[in-house]
Structures are given as structure tokens and as C-alpha cells.
Structure 1
Amino acid sequence: MAIMRCMRLEQNRSMTVDEFKRWLRIYDDNHDGRISKEEFKEALHSLKMWFGSWKAKQAIEAADSNHNGTIDSPNEIEKLVKFAQKHLHMRIYES
């Protein structure tokens, strides 16, 4: 099933942390306020990133403090931002 996402980002686009969070919410398909590996994989695929599944797995493992398989706290979002900056080469800055 193909779903059109309303906010598209280019892989090398700069964005604020708030824009990054809004972008993630677009891929929260079940609207539970958490980002799973599968949802983050879809987000990365929207950027046409290679190895999106592997990168999503690495990102979730790095940011998931309580090891429940999802990103669900402000602290974990911060870790995900730092991972995206360092390992996914996304330019994310404070507003």
C-alpha cells in the first residue's frame, strides 16, 4: 500500500530539532507517540537512504534506553537526533 507523506525532506536538507520531530510524527503510523524500527525505516526510505533497514536498526538500538524497541521519551529523541547527525549525516540544529 502506497501512502503519500505530506512532508518530504531531502537527504542533505538542514532542519531544526522541532522539524525533525514533526517529520518523525508523520511516520508514526499507529499514532501511539512512539517511533518503532519499522516506522523509522520508512522515514529513512523517504529520504532515499541506502540500507534504510540496517540504519533504522542501528539508530533504534543506539537511542532506545529502556530497550523496549521504540523511541518513546524526550531523552531517546535527543539520542536519535545525535545519532542522525553523526551516523546519518543529517544536519539538525537547535532553533
Structure 2
Amino acid sequence: MAIMRCIRLDPNRTMTVDEFKAWLRTYDDNHDGRISQEELKEALHGLRIWFGRWKTEKAMKSVDTNRSSTIDSASEMEKLVKFAQKHLHMKIYES
């Protein structure tokens, strides 16, 4: 099922951590407050990032510390922010 997202994000745009989290929440299709690997893959696909599937797998391996296959804690979300800054070259800063 294809869903159009209201928020189209330019990966080169500068944003706050809160804006990044709000954007990512738009991909939480089941509204459970967690980001699954499939939801993260869809988010990266929306950014038109090259090798999105591979980068999603890399992100989940480095961020999902409890191996639940979801990003489900504040510490994991902070790790995802750092991953996006370093590996996806997103400009995310503290507000």
C-alpha cells in the first residue's frame, strides 16, 4: 500500500533533533511509537538516499541495541540521530 507523506524532507536541509523525530514519526504506520526496520527503510526511500535498504540494515544493526527489530527507546533514537548525521550526512542540531 502506497501512502503519500505530508512532510517531504530534503536531506541537505538543516533541522533540529525534534524536527527530525517529528518527520520520522510520520513513517510510524501502525502508530505504536516505535520505528520498525521497514518503516525506517520507507523513510530513507522518501529521502531518495542511495543504497537505502543497505543503509537501513546498517542503521538497525548499530542502533537497535536490544535487538527488538525496532527503534523503541530514547537512547536508540539518539543513536539514530547520530547515525543520520554521520552516515547519511543529515544536518541535525540540538534545539
Shared fold by TM > 0.5? yes
Task: State the one-letter code of the partner of 1:74.
Answer: A
Q: Percent identity?
A: 72
* Structure 1 residue 25 displacement after superposition: 0.4
- Which structure 1 residue ranges, 4+ long, deviate > 6 Å from structure 2? none
- Correspondence list, 1:6-21, <5 A: 6-21=6-21
Residue number in structure 2 paired with 1:76: 76
Alignment of 1:32-43 (within 5 A): 32-43=32-43
2:64 corresponds to 1:64: yes
Supply the distance in 2 between the matched residues of 1:76 and 1:2 (Cα, whole angstroms): 27
- Answer yes or no: is 1:87 the counterpart of 2:77: no
Structure 1, unaligned runs of 5 or more:
none
Give the total of aligned pairs.
95
Looking at structure 1, the residues matched to 54 and 37 of structure 2 have their Cα atoms a distance apart, in angstroms, of 10
Per-residue deviation, 1:11: 1.8
Distance between the aligned counterparts of 1:84 and 1:41, measured in 2? 13
> Under a length normalisation based on structure 2, what TM-score does the superposition of the two structures give?
0.96
Unaligned runs of 5+ in 2: none
What displacement does 1:2 show?
A: 2.3
Counterpart residue type for residue 9 of structure 1 = L
**Higher relative contact order structure (alpha carbons within 8 Å, sequence separation ≥ 6):** 2
Give deviations 1:3-39, integer Å, cap 9, x for gaps: 1101110121111000010011000011111101110
What secondary structure sits across from 2:76 in the alignment? helix
CA RMSD across the alignment? 0.8
